[in-house]
C-alpha cells in the first residue's frame, strides 16, 4: 500500500497524505489531482511512502500523478524547501508557486497549437573582448564546475552583457544550461534578441508573467524536458525546471524588483545564490551600482569581485554630470533655463534628450488656494494624483479614481491649483516650447496603450527627439543618439525616512546618466537639486560608486543597520485599527518571550502609508547580528502567529525587507 504526501496551495503549514498505490519515487515533483473537501485540487507530490500516521479510513484516494509532464527537478524541490523555511511561508503555496497557472487546473494538460514561426534571426558575431572583459571571463570559466558568487561591477556601458554572452557560450559548449534573470519584463525582448542573434542554434525561451498562460506552461514543459539551453526571465524564473544548470546570471542585481513585494516575499537574487550552491555552478551578479549588501559581501571575501572600469564601445566615455541649483521660488518656470537650452541644442544637432522624473501623472497634488484643502484618497492616506489628459484624479495605491474636482470639497471655492509636476506636465510644457518636436512619454500609464518594444524601435529609428519618463526608461537601454539626460525633482529621496532611499537615488541617477553618450558622441547629464553640496552628489559627479558605497556603509555601520545586521518585519493589516493594534501588541509580547536577547525588537509603528485601500497597516521590525538566532526566533514566532492571529487581521513576515 502506497501513500503520497502532497503540497497544496493552502495557507497551512501542513502537507496532506493520500492513498496512491501506483505511486513510485519517480513521481516526486509531479502534479497530482486529489479530493479536498467537496472539491478537487491540484497538488505536487513531495514524498512517496508505505505508511501514514493517519487512520486508514481518514485517508482519501488520489488520482495517478500526471506523468505526461516532467516533474520538478530535485534542486528546485530543495530550493522550494529552503524558500519556505527561510521566508517563513507555508510549503504548500511555495511549491505551487513554481508551477505555471495553466498546469494547476484539474483538467488534463492540452498542449497549445503553436504556429511555427519562421522568424529570421539576424546573426551577430562577438566583438573581440577587451582586456578587462577577457580577464573577467577567464576567472569565472576557470571555476565553471564550482559554486562561487561573482560580483561583476562594471560602469554603465562597460560591456557586462558581452561578458555574459561569452560565459553563456562557454557554458553551452560544456553541454549545460543557463539561467539569466533580468529585473523588468520590458527588458526581456531586447536581451532575448541579443542572445538569440549570438546563439542562433540554441533553444532559448523567456519566462515571465506577461506571457499567455498556455504558452507559458508549454515553455515551462520544454524547459523541464531538457529541450531548452537558455532561460531568460524575471524573478519567478528562479524556479525554472532546468535539470542541467551550469551558470546563473543576475543582471542589475541591485534592482528591487527581484524582491517579491507581496505574498511570499522572496528575493530572487538571494535564491539564485542558493540554487548555484545546489548545482555547483557559478552565479554572476552584474551591476554598475551593486546593492550595499552585495558590495559588503564582496569586501568580506564572500563574493569574488570583478570590475570593469571603462566603457567598451570604441571612443565612448562617461558623460559629464553637472548639478543645477533648483529654483525654489513659487513662480519659477517649470523647466530650468539651462535644461531648456541644452535640449534646444540637441534638437538642432538632431540628437536625442531624455528627461527623467520619477512621478507619473500630471501633478501630484490638487490644492485649494482659499483653505488649503488637498484632494486625498477616501480609502488611503494619500493624495490623489491629477491625470489631466483623462480628466481624472487617481490614487496610485489603490484603484480609486474620480473626475477632477472643479470646486473645493471643503469651502466650495473654485480656486484650485495643482502643485508639483509629473511626466504628463513636463511632456505638455515641452510640447509648448517645441511644437514640432517629437516627444515620447514612457511611464506605466503610457505603456498600457502601446508596447515598450514598438516604442523602443521608434527611438532607435530616430523617430523621437525628446523622451520623458520614469524609471522604466532608464533601465538598461542603449540608445546611441541619446546625448542629454536631465533628472528633475530628485530631492524627495533625501527627505525620506527609509534608510535605503539615498542608495536607491544614487543607483537611479547613475543608471539615468548611463543612458547618455553610449555611442561616440559625448554625453551630458544635468541634475536639478536644491542640495548640490550633498555628499551623494559629490560622489555622483565623479561617477564614483566606491566613494558613495564607502560613505554609505560607514553610516549604516554607525546606526547598526543592514548590511551590518539582519532584519525582518512583521507587516499587519486590518479594517479595524483596534483589532490590528491588539494583534501587533500581542505579537510583540510573544516575540519578547521567544527571542534570544540578541534579537532586538523595535516598537510597533505605522508605515509611511498607514492606510491603503481601506485597510490600516502597522509593522514591527526586529533585527539581529546573528542570522541563525533571527531565523530561530522567526520560526517559533510564525508558529505562534499562525495559531493566534484573528481572521480579521492579515499578516506576513517579510525577511530581509527592502522597504521599512
Binding site for ligand ADP (CB under 6 A): 127-130, 133, 154, 156-162, 312-314, 478
Give least dist CB 277 to ligand ADP, A: 26
Strands 385-387, 392-394: pairing is antiparallel
- What CA dihedral angle connects 620, 626, 630 and 632, to 10 degrees? -170
Query: CB-wise, 126 or 210, nearer to ligand ADP?
Result: 126
Burial (CB count <10 Å: 0-12, 13-18, 19+), residue 315: exposed
The listed partner (Zn ion, ligand ADP, none) that binds 88, CB under 5 to 8 Å by sort, is none
Residues near 578 by beta carbon (within 8 Å), at least 6 away in sequence: none
Q: How many CB atoms lie within 10 A of CB 139?
A: 15
Specify whether the CB–CB gap between 595 and 637 falls below 8 A. Answer: yes
| Of 319, 313, 159, 146, the residue nearest 251 (C-alpha) | 159
Please give the C-alpha separations between residue 503 and each of 28, 100, 235, 552, in angstroms, as whole numbers.
43, 34, 21, 8
Integer Cα distance of 258 and 267 in angstroms? 6
Please identify, among the stretches 47-55, 403-411, 505-513, 568-576, the one whose residues bind Zn ion according to the rule CB under 5 A. 403-411
| Of 518, 434, 501, the residue nearest 468 (C-alpha) | 434
Query: CB-wise, 161 or 567, nearer to ligand ADP?
Result: 161
The listed partner (Zn ion, ligand ADP, none) that binds 550, CB under 5 to 8 Å by sort, is none
Residue with cell 505638455: 428
With binding defined as CB under 5 A, does residue 368 bind Zn ion? yes
> Coil, strand, or helix at residue 434?
coil
Strands 365-368, 416-419: pairing is antiparallel
Query: CB-wise, 187 or 357, nearer to ligand ADP?
Result: 187
The listed partner (Zn ion, ligand ADP, none) that binds 149, CB under 5 to 8 Å by sort, is none
Query: CB-wise, 197 or 398, nearer to Zn ion?
Result: 398
User: E-strand spans in 404-461?
Assistant: 416-419, 439-442
Grid cell locating 299: 569586501
Specify whether the CB–CB gap between 496 and 504 falls below 8 A. Answer: no
**Complete DSSP assignment for 494-515:** HH-SSTTHHHHHHHHHHHHHTT
With binding defined as CB under 5 A, does residue 380 bind Zn ion? yes
**b/e burial code for range 53-79 (CB count within 10 A of at least 16 → b):** eeeeeebeebbebbeebbbbbebbbeb
Residues near 33 by beta carbon (within 8 Å), at least 6 away in sequence: 40, 41, 42, 62, 63, 66, 106
The answer to whether the bond into 563 is cis (omega within 30° of 0) is yes
The listed partner (Zn ion, ligand ADP, none) that binds 133, CB under 5 to 8 Å by sort, is ligand ADP
Give least dist CB 549 to ligand ADP, A: 18
Query: CB-wise, 370 or 650, nearer to Zn ion?
Result: 370
Instruction: Work out the end-to-end distance of the chain between its first and last CA atoms, rounded to an integer number of angstroms.
Output: 51
With binding defined as CB under 5 A, does residue 601 bind Zn ion? no
Query: CB-wise, 153 or 229, nearer to ligand ADP?
Result: 153
Half-sphere exposure of 295 (CA within 13 A, CB side): 23
The listed partner (Zn ion, ligand ADP, none) that binds 657, CB under 5 to 8 Å by sort, is none
Query: CB-wise, 181 or 574, nearer to ligand ADP?
Result: 181
Query: CB-wise, 128 or 301, nearer to ligand ADP?
Result: 128
Q: For residue 422, how far is the Cα from the chain centroid?
A: 23
With binding defined as CB under 5 A, does residue 616 bind Zn ion? no
With binding defined as CB under 5 A, does residue 307 bind Zn ion? no
Please identify, among the stretches 149-157, 263-271, 406-414, 520-528, the one whose residues bind Zn ion according to the rule CB under 5 A. 406-414
Q: How many residues bind Zn ion (CB under 5 A)?
A: 15
The listed partner (ligand ADP, Zn ion, none) that binds 209, CB under 5 to 8 Å by sort, is none
Query: CB-wise, 130 or 280, nearer to ligand ADP?
Result: 130
Q: Which of 192, 215, 338, 379 binds Zn ion (CB under 5 A)?
A: 379
Integer Cα distance of 88 and 622 in angstroms? 14
With binding defined as CB under 5 A, does residue 371 bind Zn ion? yes
Give least dist CB 170 to ligand ADP, A: 16
**Complete DSSP assignment for 406-418:** SS-TTT--S-EEE
The listed partner (ligand ADP, Zn ion, none) that binds 373, CB under 5 to 8 Å by sort, is Zn ion
The listed partner (Zn ion, ligand ADP, none) that binds 466, CB under 5 to 8 Å by sort, is none
Q: Which of 36, 66, 400, 642 binds Zn ion (CB under 5 A)?
A: 400
The listed partner (ligand ADP, Zn ion, none) that binds 479, CB under 5 to 8 Å by sort, is none
Query: CB-wise, 130 or 260, nearer to ligand ADP?
Result: 130
With binding defined as CB under 5 A, does residue 411 bind Zn ion? yes
CA dihedral for 174, 180, 186, 190, sign (positive or negative): negative
CA dihedral for 364, 367, 369, 371, sign (positive or negative): negative
Adjacent-strand bridge partners of 179: 231, 248
With binding defined as CB under 5 A, does residue 396 bind Zn ion? no
The listed partner (ligand ADP, Zn ion, none) that binds 478, CB under 5 to 8 Å by sort, is ligand ADP
Q: Which of 103, 237, 377, 570 binds Zn ion (CB under 5 A)?
A: 377
Integer Cα distance of 443 and 632 in angstroms? 42
The listed partner (ligand ADP, Zn ion, none) that binds 410, CB under 5 to 8 Å by sort, is Zn ion
Give least dist CB 191 to ligand ADP, A: 10
Give least dist CB 375 to Zn ion, A: 11
With binding defined as CB under 5 A, does residue 410 bind Zn ion? yes
Please identify, among the stretches 138-146, 232-240, 336-344, 362-370, the one whose residues bind Zn ion according to the rule CB under 5 A. 362-370
Give least dist CB 611 to Zn ion, A: 8
Please give the C-alpha separations between residue 629 and each of 560, 565, 632, 641, in angstroms, as whole numbers.
17, 12, 5, 18
Give least dist CB 615 to Zn ion, A: 10
Query: CB-wise, 475 or 500, nearer to ligand ADP?
Result: 475
Query: CB-wise, 50 or 314, nearer to ligand ADP?
Result: 314
Please give the C-alpha separations between residue 373 and each of 380, 405, 614, in angstroms, as whole numbers.
16, 12, 21
The listed partner (ligand ADP, Zn ion, none) that binds 243, CB under 5 to 8 Å by sort, is none
With binding defined as CB under 5 A, does residue 236 bind Zn ion? no
Query: CB-wise, 158 or 186, nearer to ligand ADP?
Result: 158
Give least dist CB 122 to ligand ADP, A: 14
Please identify, among the stretches 118-126, 390-398, 539-547, 591-599, the one whose residues bind Zn ion according to the rule CB under 5 A. 390-398
| Positions that interact with Zn ion (CB under 5 A) | 368, 370-371, 373, 377, 379-380, 395, 397-398, 400, 408, 410-411, 413
Amino acid at each position: 500500500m502506497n501513500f503520497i504526501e502532497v503540497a497544496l496551495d493552502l495557507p497551512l503549514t501542513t502537507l496532506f497524505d493520500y492513498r496512491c498505490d501506483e505511486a513510485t519515487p519517480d513521481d516526486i515533483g509531479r502534479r497530482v489531482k486529489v479530493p479536498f473537501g467537496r472539491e478537487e485540487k491540484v497538488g505536487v507530490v513531495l514524498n512517496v511512502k508505505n505508511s501514514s500516521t493517519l487512520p486508514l479510513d481518514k485517508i482519501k484516494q488520489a488520482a495517478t500523478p500526471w506523468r505526461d509532464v516532467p516533474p520538478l527537478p530535485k534542486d528546485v524541490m530543495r530550493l522550494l524547501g529552503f524558500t519556505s523555511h527561510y521566508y517563513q511561508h507555508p510549503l504548500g503555496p511555495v511549491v505551487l508557486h513554481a508551477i505555471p497557472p495553466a498546469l494547476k487546473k484539474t483538467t488534463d494538460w492540452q498542449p497549445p497549437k503553436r504556429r511555427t514561426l519562421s522568424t529570421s534571426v539576424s546573426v551577430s558575431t562577438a566583438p573581440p573582448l577587451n582586456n578587462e572583459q577577457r580577464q573577467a571571463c577567464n576567472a569565472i570559466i576557470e571555476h565553471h564546475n564550482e559554486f562561487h558568487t561573482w560580483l561583476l561591477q562594471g560602469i554603465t556601458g562597460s560591456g557586462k552583457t558581452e561578458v555574459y554572452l561569452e560565459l553563456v557560450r562557454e557554458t553551452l559548449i560544456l553541454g549545460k544550461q543557463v539561467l539569466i534573470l533580468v529585473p523588468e519584463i520590458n527588458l526581456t525582448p531586447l536581451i532575448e534578441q541579443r542572445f538569440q542573434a549570438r546563439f542562433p542554434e540554441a533553444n532559448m525561451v523567456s519566462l515571465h508573467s506577461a506571457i499567455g498562460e498556455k504558452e507559458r506552461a508549454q515553455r515551462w514543459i520544454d524547459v523541464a524536458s531538457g529541450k531548452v539551453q537558455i532561460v531568460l526571465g524575471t524573478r519567478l524564473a528562479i524556479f525554472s525546471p532546468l535539470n542541467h544548470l551550469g551558470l546563473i546570471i543576475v543582471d542589475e542585481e541591485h534592482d528591487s524588483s527581484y524582491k517579491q513585494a507581496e505574498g511570499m516575499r522572496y528575493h530572487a537574487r538571494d535564491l539564485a545564490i542558493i540554487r548555484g550552491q545546489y548545482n555547483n555552478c557559478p552565479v554572476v551578479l552584474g551591476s554598475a551600482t551593486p546593492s550595499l549588501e552585495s558590495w559588503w559581501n564582496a569586501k568580506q571575501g564572500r563574493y569574488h569581485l570583478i570590475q570593469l572600469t571603462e566603457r567598451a564601445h570604441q571612443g565612448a566615455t562617461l558623460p559629464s554630470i553637472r548639478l543645477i541649483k533648483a529654483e525654489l521660488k513659487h513662480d519659477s518656470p517649470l523647466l530650468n533655463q539651462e535644461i531648456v537650452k541644452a535640449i534646444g541644442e540637441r534638437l538642432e544637432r538632431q540628437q536625442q534628450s531624455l528627461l527623467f522624473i520619477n512621478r507619473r501623472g500630471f501633478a501630484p497634488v490638487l490644492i485649494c488656494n482659499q483653505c488649503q484643502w488637498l484632494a486625498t484618497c477616501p480609502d488611503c492616506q494619500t493624495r490623489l494624483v491629477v491625470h489631466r489628459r483623462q480628466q481624472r484624479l487617481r490614487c496610485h495605491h489603490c484603484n480609486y479614481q474620480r473626475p477632477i474636482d472643479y470646486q473645493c470639497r471643503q469651502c466650495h471655492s473654485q480656486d484650485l491649483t495643482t502643485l508639483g509636476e509629473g511626466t504628463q506636465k513636463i511632456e505638455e510644457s515641452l510640447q509648448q516650447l517645441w511644437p514640432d518636436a517629437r516627444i515620447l512619454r514612457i511611464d506605466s500609464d503610457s505603456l498600457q496603450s502601446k508596447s515598450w518594444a514598438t516604442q523602443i524601435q521608434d527611438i532607435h529609428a530616430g523617430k523621437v527627439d525628446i523622451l520623458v519618463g520614469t524609471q522604466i526608461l532608464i533601465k538598461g537601454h542603449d540608445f546611441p543618439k541619446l546625448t542629454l539626460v536631465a533628472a528633475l525633482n530628485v530631492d524627495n529621496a533625501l527627505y525620506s525616512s527609509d534608510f535605503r532611499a539615498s542608495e536607491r537615488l544614487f543607483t537611479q541617477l547613475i543608471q539615468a546618466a548611463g543612458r547618455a553618450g553610449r555611442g561616440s558622441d559625448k554625453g551630458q547629464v544635468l541634475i536639478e537639486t536644491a542640495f548640490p553640496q550633498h555628499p551623494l552628489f559629490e560622489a555622483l559627479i565623479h561617477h564614483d560608486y566606491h566613494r558613495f558605497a564607502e560613505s554609505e556603509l560607514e553610516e549604516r555601520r554607525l546606526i547598526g543597520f543592514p548590511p551590518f545586521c539582519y532584519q525582518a518585519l512583521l507587516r499587519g493589516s486590518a479594517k479595524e485599527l483596534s483589532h490590528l493594534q491588539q494583534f501587533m501588541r500581542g505579537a510583540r509580547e510573544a516575540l519578547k518571550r521567544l527571542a534570544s536577547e540578541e534579537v532586538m525588537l523595535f516598537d510597533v509603528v505605522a508605515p509611511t502609508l498607514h492606510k491603503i485601500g481601506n485597510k490600516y497597516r502597522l509593522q514591527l521590525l526586529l533585527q539581529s547580528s546573528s542570522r541563525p538566532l533571527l531565523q530561530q526566533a522567526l520560526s517559533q514566532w510564525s508558529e505562534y502567529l499562525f495559531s493566534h492571529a484573528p481572521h480579521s487581521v492579515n499578516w506576513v513576515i517579510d525577511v530581509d525587507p527592502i522597504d521599512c
